[in-house]
Structure 1
């Protein structure tokens, strides 16, 4: 029988779960020939969408590239070291953001009706908010993928302008995409993330991280 803690503090995750999400999770560049089906991608989104964002704005927009044809469209924008990584991954996600994310605020943040007008009248604030919070949502994407037993390989070596023109430019179409709810010309790319089952035999020794004393202070 499944029980849900609706009251006090949640129980800490097990050490094994923490290893899977953080300590033993790695950035992968090489992939096993094991597909990731569309149902898994839907489960992935249904997990990550619950992560917090400013004013519940949820600005991230995800374009999952699953076919060789879609991947080839990405190649001209990639830095040379990242081409093989993307082409061999089962899925490459373009993590983008909707510059007009505030159009959804009447649904997502109905108790503050003035927020939509505030963001619409201050484009710089809207842009900063969309970029920052889509980065947060991209991190939730990685953790959700790891929670589902997948591996990730985030990438930032690419030309954002080329990606935006190829996939989100005026006149572009995405198969099975409802343009009303995925307005391509409103979207800008943030970063890329390869998803699949990584080849653990090709991992290099793990690089160190900063100690608490190097990265943190207590006031």
Structure 2
């Protein structure tokens, strides 16, 4: 490994989903620093379909909490910062004119809404994972959740109909009893096969 044991621990071995947070605020400077790092991470054809709504106001937080599953309501209500991470299914409008080296791929993205949507969701999910790693690299904890009414969240925070919410992520410094017991991980031979 080219990163030291401490960085490996922070990013991977000790990385956990946080379920409680302190009252310490997460600033705009924190979020900008995280994004300035993770925006460089690779995606297919360098597309950038991730869109993020930072839920900061009490009114917006209350609207979001209504769409969370019951077991996620209290922790979402109490987190210092909550981000709704979504895939922009019309991301291709932001691609540079020279994208990509393979013109037939660009035509497929533009012409076929299903291919474009699937690509947006897959690559935004990669970007969600990078964002999560960035939060950890910044010394903060993250509580990523898929337990919410995605249709309701989309209507509430992305009324244009072109964004698909993927993850709601609570962000901050871990609070008391923030960690649940970790479940076991699959062994190498249970995951990998050679052909």
Shorter-chain TM range is: over 0.9
Which residue number in structure 1 is paired with residue 169 of structure 2?
193
Counterpart check, 1:32 vs 2:22 = yes
Cα separation, 1, equivalents of 2:114 and 2:59: 35
Which residue number in structure 1 is paired with residue 33 of structure 2?
43
Which residue number in structure 1 is paired with residue 86 of structure 2?
96
Which residue number in structure 1 is paired with residue 191 of structure 2?
215
Cα separation, 2, equivalents of 1:126 and 1:108: 18
Asked if 1 retains the 8 angstrom alpha-carbon contact of 2:52 and 2:83, the reply is: yes
Which residue number in structure 2 is paired with residue 56 of structure 1?
46
Structure 1 residues 108 and 154: alpha-carbon distance in aligned structure 2, compared to 1, 3 A threshold: farther
Which residue number in structure 1 is paired with residue 60 of structure 2?
70
Using the TM superposition, give the Cα deviation of residue 107 of structure 1 relative to its aligned residue in structure 2, in angstroms: 5.1
Using the TM superposition, give the Cα deviation of residue 112 of structure 1 relative to its aligned residue in structure 2, in angstroms: 4.9
Using the TM superposition, give the Cα deviation of residue 162 of structure 1 relative to its aligned residue in structure 2, in angstroms: 0.4
Cα separation, 1, equivalents of 2:178 and 2:94: 43
Q: Which deviations, in whole Å up to 9, do the C-alpha atoms of 1:20-55 show, x marking residues without a partner? A: 000011111111111100111111111111111111
Q: Structure 2 matches for 1:1-219, cutoff 5 A?
A: 12-106=2-96, 109=99, 111-112=101-102, 115-170=105-160, 185-199=161-175, 201-219=177-195
Gaps of 5+ in 2: none
Structure 1 residues 201 and 77: alpha-carbon distance in aligned structure 2, compared to 1, 3 A threshold: closer
Using the TM superposition, give the Cα deviation of residue 114 of structure 1 relative to its aligned residue in structure 2, in angstroms: 5.5
Q: Which structure is richer in relative contact order (CA contacts within 8 A, separation 6 or more)?
A: 2
Using the TM superposition, give the Cα deviation of residue 108 of structure 1 relative to its aligned residue in structure 2, in angstroms: 7.4
Corresponding residue pairs, total: 195
Cα separation, 2, equivalents of 1:36 and 1:78: 21
Cα separation, 2, equivalents of 1:94 and 1:53: 20
Cα separation, 2, equivalents of 1:107 and 1:194: 36
Q: Which has the larger radius of gyration?
A: 1
Cα separation, 2, equivalents of 1:41 and 1:186: 24
- Larger mean Cα displacement after TM superposition, 90-99 or 198-207: 198-207
After superposition, the CA RMSD in angstroms is: 1.8
Structure 1 residues 98 and 208: alpha-carbon distance in aligned structure 2, compared to 1, 3 A threshold: same
Asked if 2 retains the 8 angstrom alpha-carbon contact of 1:66 and 1:91, the reply is: yes
Q: Which deviations, in whole Å up to 9, do the C-alpha atoms of 1:114-167 show, x marking residues without a partner? A: 644431211110011000001000000010110010101110011111011111
Q: Which deviations, in whole Å up to 9, do the C-alpha atoms of 1:170-214 show, x marking residues without a partner? A: 4xxxxxxxxxxxxxx432211111111112544233221111122
Which residue number in structure 2 is paired with residue 177 of structure 1?
none
Q: TM-score, normalised by structure 1?
A: 0.83
